[in-house]
Amino acid sequence: MDLARAHDLSTQAVRNYEEAGILPAADRTPSGYRAYTPLHGRALRAFLALVPGHGHKVATSIMRAVNQGEVDEALRLVDESHAQLGDDRRTLQAVESALSALAPATGPEPVNGAGPVPGGTFIGPLAAELGIRPATLRKWERAGLVRPGRDPLTGYRVYEEGDVRDARLAHQLRRGGHLLEQIAPLITQVRTAGGLEPLQAALLDWHGRLSARGRALLTGAAELDAYLRARGQLSPA
The pLDDT of residue 22 is: 95
The pLDDT of residue 159 is: 94
How would you classify residue 34: left for phi > 0, otherwise alpha for psi between -120 and 50, otherwise beta?
A: beta
Percent of the chain past pLDDT 70, that is, above it, reads: 86
The pLDDT of residue 206 is: 79
CA–CA distance, 1 with 92 (Å, rounded to integer): 45
CA–CA distance, 45 with 77 (Å, rounded to integer): 18
The pLDDT of residue 105 is: 45
HSE on the CB side for 223, CA within 13 Å? 24
Residues of the chain predicted below pLDDT 50: 104-118, 237
The pLDDT of residue 119 is: 60
CA–CA distance, 12 with 165 (Å, rounded to integer): 54
Could you tell me whether strands 27-28 and 34-35 are parallel, antiparallel, or unpaired per DSSP bridges?
A: antiparallel
Which residues have CB under 8 Å from 72's CB, separation 6+? none
The pLDDT of residue 1 is: 58
CA angle in degrees (0–180, nearest 5) for 38-43-49:
125
Element (H, E) at 175: helix 161-175
The pLDDT of residue 214 is: 96
The pLDDT of residue 102 is: 66
The pLDDT of residue 101 is: 67
Q: Return the SS3 of 149.
A: strand
Which residues have CB under 8 Å from 202's CB, separation 6+? 189, 193
Q: The whole model's pTM is what?
A: 0.67
CA–CA distance, 222 with 228 (Å, rounded to integer): 10
pLDDT tens, position by position, 63-120: 999 999 999 999 999 999 999 999 888 878 877 877 776 654 444 333 334 443 446 8
